[in-house]
Chain A
Amino acid sequence: AQSVSQHNHHVILSEAASLELGCNYSYGGTVNLFWYVQYPGQHLQLLLKYFSGDPLVKGIKGFEAEFIKSKFSFNLRKPSVQWSDTAEYFCAVNQGTGANNLFFGTGTRLTVIP
């Protein structure tokens, strides 16, 4: 089965600092990649997704992610974080076809200090 690794469990940054959250997956075939964000007390919302084409994907709120196939990675980046970016971020990988094929990482909690 697919495994998704998010190595940063908790990241603390000051406002205006740059952000990069790591995500690695294990499956070597065709995948679709996602980053979800969960603001405190809320449900998961889609931040961005990669299906095919340009490996640099831009999402909402200034976030972007780069798919590097050779490294099985899909890291999330933002040049300058804001206090409102404080949330938990989940990387997810959709593998192949069928229903039971969406796998989540354990999440990275981001705290932005004003």
Chain B
Amino acid sequence: NAGVTQTPKFRILKIGQSMTLQCTQDMNHNYMYWYRQDPGMGLKLIYYSVGAGITDKGEVPNGYNVSRSTTEDFPLRLELAAPSQTSVYFCASKVNTEAFFGQGTRLTVV
């Protein structure tokens, strides 16, 4: 079972560049999430989705955008990368109460 798959695993961006972090899940979960993880800060919710076509902001949405055109895919877009977006990003999907996480994307903005 693939579960939740994120790509890429690592990326270095220059300030002002844009990129899309990909996330796909094969468990037919309606709920999907994007978190960022910073040292000593735990996981902060960026955006989430309750199903295809529906997205909503989490705790730290500024500088990011998402879309959910299918149940499987939930990409996260950074339009103008800033050093403050250097972080590890985790995608997750949830059924009922248990969340399943992807491997993470380590992003560095220089």
Instruction: State which of A94, A99, A106 has its C-beta within 8 Å of the C-beta of B42.
Output: A106
Whether A99 touches B90, Cβ cut-off 8 Å, given contacts A49-B98, A106-B42, is no
Q: Chain B 41-65 against A: per-residue CB contact (8 Å), 1 yes, 0 no? A: 1110100111000001010000000
Instruction: State which of A44, A92, A98, A106 has its C-beta within 8 Å of the C-beta of B90.
Output: A44
Residue numbers in B under 8 Å from A106 (CB-CB): 40-42
Q: Is the interface of B mostly helix, strand, loop or mixed?
A: strand
Whether A90 touches B43, Cβ cut-off 8 Å, given contacts A43-B104, A44-B101, A51-B97, is yes
Instruction: State which of B41, B48, B98, B99 has its C-beta within 8 Å of the C-beta of A100.
Output: B48
The number of chain B residues touching the other chain, given as a range, is: 20 to 34
What distance in Å separates the Cβ of A73 from its nearest Cβ neighbour in chain B?
18
B74 touches A (CB below 8 Å): no
Question: Is there contact, CB below 8 Å, between B40 and A43?
Answer: no
How far, in angstroms, from A82 to B58 measured CA to CA in the complex? 37
B94 touches A (CB below 8 Å): yes
B34 touches A (CB below 8 Å): no
Question: Is there contact, CB below 8 Å, between A32 and B42?
Answer: no
B102 touches A (CB below 8 Å): yes
* Most chain B beta-carbon contacts within 10 A, residue among A34, A43, A46: A43
Question: Is there contact, CB below 8 Å, between A104 and B42?
Answer: yes
Question: Is there contact, CB below 8 Å, between A32 and B97?
Answer: yes
Whether A105 touches B42, Cβ cut-off 8 Å, given contacts A43-B90, A43-B104, A99-B50, is yes
Question: Is there contact, CB below 8 Å, between B98 and A104?
Answer: no
B103 touches A (CB below 8 Å): yes
Residue numbers in B under 8 Å from A42 (CB-CB): 103-104
Residue numbers in B under 8 Å from A7 (CB-CB): none
Given A100-B56, A107-B40, 15 more pairs with CB closer than 8 A: A32-B97, A42-B104, A43-B90, A43-B101, A43-B102, A43-B103, A43-B104, A49-B97, A49-B98, A51-B97, A90-B42, A92-B99, A102-B33, A104-B35, A104-B43
